[in-house]
Structure 1
Amino acid sequence: MLDPHWSRRTSARMVGCWLMVSFVAAASIIVSDHPVEQASETTATIDGPYANLLASATDLGPSRFDHAQLTVGLRESARPDRLLQWAASKSLAVRWKAGEEWAIVEGAPPDVAEAFDVPVHDYRGMQGQVFYASSQQPEVPAAVRSTVTDLGRILGYTPHREALPDFIPLDVPRQGLTPSALLTAYNASPLAAQGITGKGQTIVFFAFSGFDQGDLDDFAQMSGLPPLKPVVVGGQPSESRAETVMDLEVAHAIAPDARMVVINARPTLEGGRTYERIAEMFDQADQQFPGAVWSLSIGWGCDALITATDLKPVQSALERAHRNGTSAFDASGDTGGLECKGGPRWSSPPGPDDVGLDAISSLPGMTSVGGTTLSTDADGQWLAEQAWIDSPLSQGTSGGVSKLFPRPAWQRRLIVERDPGKRERRLTPDVSALADPFTGIKIRFDQQDLVGAGTSQAAPIWAGLTALMNQYLLTNGGQRLGDINPLLYRVAAGANSPGFRDVTLGGNAVDVAIPGYDMVTGLGSPNVEQLARDFLDIQKGMAPR
């Protein structure tokens, strides 16, 4: 059975220390002896990881929360009058913003249950968290089918994941890659030689944990870099943890003159409306830091727990940020393709229900970043890369076929054996970078010299490199990259210079790396100087078609 509390982003070689976190809804729960409602013949019982989540929890009977809600998809962005009228007749409320093709329907759980003809119960999870959920997926009521296209889950709980790694610094020769070696490995040194250091660019990190400024000061000093003093939005999320510290230091190693911003993502876990709050957080970041590069190394649950409708607020906010020039990178995960399997139960044999993607990382507007093992010479010159996997520790780069999203136009040329519809579903990751703790980047955490790793290292690598490429483009008459996925796949299909290094060795628990695109390392790792020139050629109309 799925335990929804697991650590997703492994930032170094771990020795079995998983952080388990949970969200406990703020409500008074009364255990009831009410009989269990019968499922409607028009609804379907939800199976897979969602069913495992409920099966691993204690059913407390019909919900006594103050409210329950679900997201609904709309046929158009006009005011949904029919939905508003129907909801009022059912004692429900609707929250809708002008121009959006989604809305939130909410009300007392008994009213939600009656209106959508499904049971809504309270559950107590294995870690003591209490939440409401329906074991049934409702259908769109007949009265609103002319307005509503699809429905999200009735689920008041969102798993969230963050790494709490144990670093083993002696695992890596020479104590990890230095900033100059990292730039050399991914051929970004030619940009640095031109004075491209991220100046004028902003990188935003969304984090569940905070940082110790002393670690950042030490890192900048020992690396010979400018001071690293992030802007914090929403207050320090919590005590200093390796995840946020590593993200900041890795990006600073690449783009030392970029402004670094840490946004507290913990409020997204409050009140049972996580995906709506994520959208609000993204909108706030876009308004405060338009055109910034985003980096995410945290997770809000696997794609099998929700529907695409649940993510419509997030995708909508991401598209607005793209229009202002933002590129967004999210770690694909460190569970070897089994993102729906819980860390505390990792020793159990994997099954079909464990195969899945991180939901936010799989958004078509998000660039999903996988992980590699990197080999360099003594000067940092690239020698080889292969997919990152550590079977004894059940770690490795994640990726696969989306359960939620259709194949974007920019992926339609790809053919993979595991997409049963052939060219029908979104594939991840899109790209990859260094993740193996044996070949990681030298960082400073808890007053120690350590080595970072995991796909949560790979995402800020791409964020930092993109800040450099944005500066390069602006310096040479181009513009910020914005929605970068279509551009990445265009370069891979044919460009004036080879912008990627294809990764053809290794694999994870589900897939193997092959020539060309694969669901372990995506298009490959970046050859930055050439990739930047390819992007400029595209923007100036000089790229091959």
Structure 2
Amino acid sequence: MGGTARSKAFRWGAAAVAALAVATAAVPASAATAAPAGDPGPQRVGKAPKAPKGAVRTADPAPGAALDLSVVLEPRDPAALQRFVAEVSTPGSPRYRQYLGTGEFAKVFGAEPATVQRVRAELEAKGLTVGALGADGLTLPVKTTVADAAKAFGTEFDGYRMPDGKAGVLNTRAPSFGGRVADEVSTVVGLNTLATYQPRNTGLKGRAHKKQTATAPRALQPRLTGTTPALCTEVQNYLADASDPAYPPLYDKTDYWSARSLATAYNMANQVNVQTGTTVAVYSLENYDPKDIAEYQRCHGTRASVSAVRVNGGPTEPVDPFGTGAGMETALDVETIIGLAPQAKILVYQGKNTWNDSTLTYQQIVNENRAKVISVSWGLCEIHTPDDVRTAQNLIFQQAAAQGQSVVVASGDSGSTGCYVPIDAQGTPDPEVPDQDQLVADFPSVSPYVLAVGGTTMRTDITQQTTWPGSGGGVARGISVPADGFQAGRTGAGYSDACAAAAGTTCRQVPDVAGVGDPATGYPIAFGGGNYWGVIGGTSGAAPVWAALLAQANQDLACQANGAVGDVHRALYQLPATAFRDVTSGNTNLTKSGNFSGLYAAGAGYDLATGLGAPNGREIVAGLCKAVAPSAASSFNALTPARILDTRAGIGRAGTSPVGVNGTVKLKVTGVGGVPASGVTAVVMNVTATAPTGPGYLIAYPSGTTRPASSNMNWLKGETIPNLVTVPVGKDGSVDLFNAGGYTAHFVADISGYFSTEAGGSTYVPKGPARILDTRSAIGRAGTSPVPGKGTVSLQVAGAGGVPATGATAVVLNVTATAPTSNGYLIAYPSGATRPTASNINWLTGQTRPNAVVLPIGPDGKVNLYNAGSGTVHFIADVFGYYTAGAEGSTFHSAGPARLLDTRYALGTSGTTPLKGGTPLVLNLNDGHTLSTAKAVVLNVTVTAPSAGGFLTVWPDGTTLPTASNLNWTTGQTTANLVTVPVVNGKIDFRANTGTVHVIADLFGYYS
């Protein structure tokens, strides 16, 4: 941590066993409370806390004083949880990155319902008010008073006042439970309300923090997705101003590292393979000023989304950068992430700085599972962090690992003596802080489920880095890990058995990795309501650097295709040495006097000062994303379209009400409509939105995964809009259809095929695009008259448009309806089959509407296109490939959803200007791994803000522009369509025929 909420960490307490399960301490019941025969009697869980040094006894707390507690239960199978986390985090494991989805942890590892009921019954029998079981399936919230808690848990409470004036209470004994439930309770958090994590703004003192000279407003620029922003010239000049002797000039790469300079040094700059942005959670126990963030973004020209999530009401202390320092830590964390991962969305989870609320803040981040990277710059030396807090929060970190969330934690700013806190520039220890000469590390950095980040000093370039003496590191007192685990063979010089490790285990060592921590070479941040700029440091600056790097990894297409990087320990420790910038000089003896005996020296390879070293970013991203094989190869099975959802009629969903605002339909797709119950990787459906009460759009994605930023179709009030979707199937056999509009809408879904790992399916052969039907020009049908109402076009596809005369099982078409004389819809189905009720395209009088269609081919080599309207309409059909049972085709791999192209935000393009009619846009898919061997890609393509009516063609690069079209639109219309397009030269091309239009492309899979 550094600058503010110091990179300190909390610690364990009693040494843990190899499996990392924290044991509860049992105290025999007294004779006065002897239990009946067969009942082990009351037992105490955990240990009584000690009053912090400097705390002064006050009057006993008022009996009616309120307490908010968290009673944390044991997981139903702690050993199974530890095995699962290891399996989903270990490259090469069959379960690698097969994470639990949101809400699944409670079902799999939460306490058994009977256990919950037993504990609840005992608490309520003691007169306590127990809330609903938490989403983790482990936490029972309890609201009570000092008097009721004392009676219920067999303890007393003493009142104290801390040196900063804050008052609190301390339980004198560990909480007592009946013998039948004591073993089912892991810990109770909240009985101790004294000192918690203390923010330390160690870096800003003595650095420039002059009032910013007034300058003309700088125009906010579009989000620079994938491009590392530069510090604006006026702030560079302002920091370098030498006119005031009270503030020495500061220069980039000498006195601070700007985002672009640091990203360049760490090989993180201008991420080339970035796709849809990911979400990073910033853990905060203070308020912050959004004006600081706005000023940072103004200077850098970024537009990252930053939102606050207040937990249990959030903190109450005001922002005070020049007094208490409140707000500085959060500003440092958020601004650093923006500078290095400007495409990421940031959620700042804010809780009160109490033991219970700090734990609840972690719980909410993990239970919501909205962010796959969690950046933490708060902590405390391990031996000063209560046992109950360490136990509860370690369980939360296990849950995060099980869900694929990466927790990145600053390792501390007190060197090898983690409790050391200086009070002046000479390094004089704070007399109020005990244990300052002990070799201890920080919690939560000592948890084996978080990535602990140490600090370095770096000037000029990466070759000049050394250990920053304040880099927190060492050996955990209370945590042991398997000797053959991720740190096997990496014992740092100076290692000692501080945790009394059991046979087959060793003590957890920190840090894992490092980044710039020295405030003398720190991070420029905006603060003070956006009116000041200064430089701040500490490992709390290094931690968000690594959080940004892991966000870059999660934004990489290969990682998006194969899952978030999650708990990266096992993957990181397996990477070659070239993935890190090793730090080989310096030590962590922070004190000026050298009186403390403890210090750890940097050396070649892993050490207890800087871990594996600073990042070689691009190599780390590539290594993490290549650590998993591509998604399973699947073959296609076409089906005659069948309706599996209609919210108007209660099909596929209970009730007939429309889908609500921001509502989700969880649609079971396996075992229905001809889709088998197992082996299915993705489904192909025609999804229709109808009767919307206002504009909106739909997002289809695998159930149980984080909702992506991609979209599948857009609509306006009253429109009926269909679109074909190919969507991976969640582990429970379901997909989610999310109504992203601010209005209600009905959803209809017709299944037309599925991809499976089982033998017997068909593979894909990309062809075209090639036009095989245009009723306006007598292509594919005699005459140029339109198709009459209730009329059918029997279209020969075998032997046409590159489809072979024999051997093709299904065809991929883009079908367009144009010039209709009345409202209507199209039904496409194989020749010789009964016409289904499923629809493929809906249109209004005069509209031109396209949609992709995947159809089985009838025995006579034909498919039927039926005009279900009463008026006439013209049909156009373009071939984009076919499926075959032969060996010449390619297999399908589900991927994403992931955004590859968005001309509005310079994603996939060099600028933010719309596509100009007649000018091709080339999208390069040569990403170095996932799509490099793709024969075709499955995209959902959306056009928006067109200046005139027109159409878009998507085709393989290096081939002649075809006459086929994929999307048609009118002026101002937003429309989408699924496109399966062959890939040539690793590229595909987009071209609008006229006007200007913005183009968006989301990946849903590929063929190789």
Structure 1 residue 504, shift from structure 2 partner: 2.6
Match of 2:102 in 1: none
Q: Identity of paired residues, percent?
A: 25
Q: Deviation digits for residues 431-462 of structure 1, max 9, x if unmatched?
A: 11011122223333343443231111101111
Question: Residues 74, 280 of structure 1: CA spacing in aligned structure 2 closer, same or farther, 3 A cutoff?
Answer: closer
Match of 2:3 in 1: 10
- 2:582 is equivalent to residue 511 of structure 1: no
Structure 1 residue 486, shift from structure 2 partner: 2.5
Structure 1 residue 52, shift from structure 2 partner: 5.0
1:129-208 alignment to 2 at 5 Å? 129-137=166-174, 142-148=179-185, 154-164=191-201, 165-166=204-205, 168-169=207-208, 170=248, 172-174=250-252, 176-189=256-269, 192=270, 194=272, 196=274, 199-208=276-285
Structure 2 CA distance for aligned equivalents of residues 450 and 55 of structure 1: 32
Structure 2 CA distance for aligned equivalents of residues 151 and 233 of structure 1: 25
Decide which of 277, 284, 305 is 2:360's aligned counterpart: 277
Question: Residues 236, 478 of structure 1: CA spacing in aligned structure 2 closer, same or farther, 3 A cutoff?
Answer: same
Structure 2 CA distance for aligned equivalents of residues 45 and 283 of structure 1: 24
Given that 1:167 and 1:451 are in contact with CA atoms closer than 8 Å, whether structure 2 keeps it comes out as no
Structure 2 CA distance for aligned equivalents of residues 147 and 178 of structure 1: 50
Structure 1 residue 99, shift from structure 2 partner: 6.4
Decide which of 618, 621, 625 is 1:532's aligned counterpart: 621
Decide which of 444, 452, 465 is 1:368's aligned counterpart: 452
Match of 1:248 in 2: 334
Question: Residues 230, 12 of structure 1: CA spacing in aligned structure 2 closer, same or farther, 3 A cutoff?
Answer: closer
Runs (5+) with no aligned partner, structure 2: 7-28, 32-42, 77-110, 209-247, 322-326, 590-597, 631-1008
Decide which of 471, 479, 499 is 1:405's aligned counterpart: 479
Question: Residues 539, 358 of structure 1: CA spacing in aligned structure 2 closer, same or farther, 3 A cutoff?
Answer: same
Match of 2:52 in 1: 53
Deviates more, 1:457-466 or 1:251-260: 251-260
Structure 2 CA distance for aligned equivalents of residues 210 and 52 of structure 1: 27
Structure 1 residue 328, shift from structure 2 partner: 2.0
Q: Deviation digits for residues 97-152 of structure 1, max 9, x if unmatched?
A: 48635656775545544554443222233333222212444576545345346666
Other structure's SS at 1:424 match:
strand
Aligned residues: 482
Structure 1 residue 214, shift from structure 2 partner: 5.0
Decide which of 258, 271, 291 is 2:344's aligned counterpart: 258
The letter for the 1-side match of 2:460 is T
Match of 1:120 in 2: 157
Given that 1:371 and 1:434 are in contact with CA atoms closer than 8 Å, whether structure 2 keeps it comes out as yes
Structure 1 residue 243, shift from structure 2 partner: 2.4
Q: Deviation digits for residues 359-396 of structure 1, max 9, x if unmatched?
A: 3333332222111112334xxxx21322212xxxxxx1
Other structure's SS at 1:432 match:
strand
Runs (5+) with no aligned partner, structure 1: 1-7, 14-38, 390-395
Structure 2 CA distance for aligned equivalents of residues 166 and 383 of structure 1: 27
Structure 2 CA distance for aligned equivalents of residues 116 and 482 of structure 1: 38
Structure 2 CA distance for aligned equivalents of residues 229 and 153 of structure 1: 33
Q: What is the root-mean-square deviation of aligned Cα atoms in Å? A: 3.9
Structure 2 CA distance for aligned equivalents of residues 104 and 254 of structure 1: 38
Match of 1:500 in 2: 580
Question: Residues 59, 322 of structure 1: CA spacing in aligned structure 2 closer, same or farther, 3 A cutoff?
Answer: same
Match of 2:892 in 1: none
Match of 1:435 in 2: 517
Question: Residues 477, 126 of structure 1: CA spacing in aligned structure 2 closer, same or farther, 3 A cutoff?
Answer: closer
Match of 2:491 in 1: 415
Structure 1 residue 253, shift from structure 2 partner: 1.9
Structure 2 CA distance for aligned equivalents of residues 258 and 107 of structure 1: 40
Structure 1 residue 281, shift from structure 2 partner: 2.9
Other structure's SS at 1:411 match:
coil
Question: Residues 290, 250 of structure 1: CA spacing in aligned structure 2 closer, same or farther, 3 A cutoff?
Answer: closer
Higher strand share: 2
Structure 1 CA distance for aligned equivalents of residues 197 and 358 of structure 2: 12
The letter for the 1-side match of 2:614 is S
The letter for the 2-side match of 1:168 is R
Given that 1:199 and 1:471 are in contact with CA atoms closer than 8 Å, whether structure 2 keeps it comes out as yes
Other structure's SS at 2:463 match:
strand
Other structure's SS at 1:523 match:
coil
Structure 1 CA distance for aligned equivalents of residues 405 and 328 of structure 2: 26
The letter for the 2-side match of 1:10 is G
Decide which of 565, 571, 574 is 1:490's aligned counterpart: 574
Deviates more, 1:453-462 or 1:61-70: 61-70
Other structure's SS at 2:334 match:
helix
Structure 2 CA distance for aligned equivalents of residues 537 and 46 of structure 1: 45
1:303-322 alignment to 2 at 5 Å? 303-322=382-401
Question: Residues 85, 468 of structure 1: CA spacing in aligned structure 2 closer, same or farther, 3 A cutoff?
Answer: closer
Per the normalisation by structure 1, the TM-score is 0.75
Other structure's SS at 1:433 match:
strand
Given that 1:254 and 1:461 are in contact with CA atoms closer than 8 Å, whether structure 2 keeps it comes out as yes
Structure 1 residue 249, shift from structure 2 partner: 2.4
Decide which of 473, 480, 488 is 2:564's aligned counterpart: 480
Question: Residues 45, 498 of structure 1: CA spacing in aligned structure 2 closer, same or farther, 3 A cutoff?
Answer: closer
Given that 2:47 and 2:387 are in contact with CA atoms closer than 8 Å, whether structure 1 keeps it comes out as no
1:370-385 alignment to 2 at 5 Å? 370-377=454-461, 382-385=462-465
The letter for the 2-side match of 1:83 is V
Other structure's SS at 1:407 match:
strand
Structure 2 CA distance for aligned equivalents of residues 117 and 431 of structure 1: 44
Q: Deviation digits for residues 12-52 of structure 1, max 9, x if unmatched?
A: 99xxxxxxxxxxxxxxxxxxxxxxxxx989989979xx535
Question: Residues 317, 150 of structure 1: CA spacing in aligned structure 2 closer, same or farther, 3 A cutoff?
Answer: closer
Given that 1:251 and 1:464 are in contact with CA atoms closer than 8 Å, whether structure 2 keeps it comes out as yes
Given that 2:375 and 2:543 are in contact with CA atoms closer than 8 Å, whether structure 1 keeps it comes out as yes
Structure 1 CA distance for aligned equivalents of residues 279 and 135 of structure 2: 30
Structure 1 CA distance for aligned equivalents of residues 172 and 54 of structure 2: 10
Question: Residues 141, 302 of structure 1: CA spacing in aligned structure 2 closer, same or farther, 3 A cutoff?
Answer: farther
Structure 2 CA distance for aligned equivalents of residues 428 and 371 of structure 1: 12
Question: Residues 357, 114 of structure 1: CA spacing in aligned structure 2 closer, same or farther, 3 A cutoff?
Answer: farther
Per the normalisation by structure 2, the TM-score is 0.43
Structure 1 CA distance for aligned equivalents of residues 289 and 188 of structure 2: 42
Deviates more, 1:341-350 or 1:57-66: 341-350
Structure 1 residue 213, shift from structure 2 partner: 5.0
Structure 1 CA distance for aligned equivalents of residues 296 and 514 of structure 2: 25
Higher helix share: 1
Q: Which has the higher contact order (CA 8 A, sep 6+)?
A: 1
Question: Residues 105, 340 of structure 1: CA spacing in aligned structure 2 closer, same or farther, 3 A cutoff?
Answer: farther
Given that 1:473 and 1:479 are in contact with CA atoms closer than 8 Å, whether structure 2 keeps it comes out as no
Given that 1:73 and 1:101 are in contact with CA atoms closer than 8 Å, whether structure 2 keeps it comes out as yes
The letter for the 2-side match of 1:126 is P
Given that 2:411 and 2:453 are in contact with CA atoms closer than 8 Å, whether structure 1 keeps it comes out as yes
Structure 2 CA distance for aligned equivalents of residues 102 and 263 of structure 1: 19
